[in-house]
A and B are shown apart, each in its own frame.
Chain A
Amino acid sequence: MIFRRKSRYVLIEPSRQIDMSQKESWSALREELAKFMGEKSYIDANPFLIEGSSAGNFIIRVSRGSERQLILALSFIKCIGPAEIGFYTIKTSGTIRSLRVKGKKL
């Protein structure tokens, strides 16, 4: 029996221009998420950056059931390093394709 973790994908739009495909930006966001979610919730959620574009929008994968905690944590994150920034969660989906279509429409 092959165990496959069930996931949810969240499309996120930052309030200011940030290139999430850069390693430093993603590491800084992960630290903030771990701080707000707590160790156990962060480990259970296991957030992973799927796609980041220089245009701004990016997609994060989390374990199914943890997407709400991710959404709440992103509401409270207002700075990455020294830069002030906000994150809007646009859509949550079980597939990446629907989020890519939505991301193109934005």
Chain B
Amino acid sequence: MRFLLASCAALLAAGSALADDAVHLSIRDHKYEPARIEVPAGVKFKLLVKNEDPTPEEFESFDLKREKVVPPGQEIAVFLGPLDAGEYKFVGDFHQDTAQGVMVAK
């Protein structure tokens, strides 16, 4: 049991440093704003997603391996990276036709 707890602590303690500035993304009228967003490549960063709609949305991306519900009127944090330079698609799971975006890591 002590080994297990120590291992868990080690898993949490290790890791890459976070970029200084968070990246901001909004959901309005079931669309992402901006729909094309630039992020730093090669570093871990925090993406803040704010839902300005009255209904929930789910930030989802197979490319980024993340999915997280954003309650109406609230902001959530998504930890991403380090990403290789390139483009990564994301969608709003609850409004897939309109909530689409691309994250460009450079």
Does B bind A? no
- B interface residues, Cβ below 8 angstroms from A: none
Binding site for B on A (CB under 8 A): none
